[in-house]
């Protein structure tokens, strides 16, 4: 596979792994072993649609506009720097994520909650439509679509691993140290991506 695919995969994975309400919800449902497959597919397909929108739709609005490309590039870099600062702060504070262990929602209720966690979060649009779209559209055809395929593959792999592997990871991520390590890696990745954008 090409470097563009792996670049898209790594960039998307770095953004998705960041601790948030959607990940916490999928993790919780994975621990409970409730509706895991539908939730994993919903999250992955939602990301795929948003990434495609960024590359093929919203991304095209800025692709040939030098001013807008610069604006998204520097805006994306600032966002990544801030995202990294937040992750570093979480790592410094060393606060473990608490995962609720009760529930019993129907499939419809579980999907409705996941819909809210996904589409009512403004960061999902920044991550997928704006940031991944801008990064993809820095490349010519067909490399931008290969980048997008890598980004979508990362989403599917992450949510599958999170949902189905949650019951095995739960004891590990019950400790503050595990979250500190994860957030430290996320912070360094965000800063590295910001540097790449600024040097592009």
Q: What is the pTM of this model?
A: 0.67
In percent, the amount of the chain with pLDDT more than 90 equals 20
The residue with greater pLDDT, 42 or 60, is 42
Is residue 131 within 8 Å of 79, Cβ to Cβ?
Answer: yes
Say how far apart CA 39 and CA 113 lie, in whole Å.
10
H/E run at residue 8: helix 3-16
Say how far apart CA 30 and CA 73 lie, in whole Å.
36
Under DSSP, the state recorded for 19 is -
Reported as a pLDDT band with limits 50, 70 and 90, residue 114 is confident
Q: What is the pLDDT of residues 154-197, one digit of tens each?
A: 999 999 999 998 888 767 767 778 778 877 887 887 788 788 77
The residue with greater pLDDT, 80 or 136, is 136
Say how far apart CA 185 and CA 12 lie, in whole Å.
14
């Amino acid at each position: 596979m090409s470097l563009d695919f792996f670049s898209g995969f790594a960039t998307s994975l770095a953004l998705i792994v960041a601790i948030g309400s959607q990940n916490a919800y999928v993790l919780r449902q994975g621990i409970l072993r409730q509706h895991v497959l539908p939730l994993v597919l919903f999250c992955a397909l939602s990301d795929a649609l948003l990434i495609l929108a960024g590359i093929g739709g919203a991304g095209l609005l800025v692709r040939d506009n030098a001013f807008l490309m610069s604006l998204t590039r520097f805006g994306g870099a600032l966002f990544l720097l801030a995202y990294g600062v937040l992750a570093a702060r979480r790592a410094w504070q060393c606060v473990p994520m608490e995962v609720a262990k009760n529930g019993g929602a129907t499939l419809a209720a579980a999907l409705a909650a996941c819909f809210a966690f996904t589409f009512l979060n403004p960061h999902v649009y920044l991550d997928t439509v704006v940031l991944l779209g801008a990064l993809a559209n820095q490349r010519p055809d067909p490399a931008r679509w290969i980048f997008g395929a890598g980004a979508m593959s990362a989403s599917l792999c992450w949510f599958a691993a999170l949902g189905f592997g949650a019951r095995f990871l739960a004891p590990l991520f019950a400790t503050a140290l595990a979250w500190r390590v994860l957030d430290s890696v996320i912070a360094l990745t965000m800063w590295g991506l910001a540097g790449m954008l600024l040097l592009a």
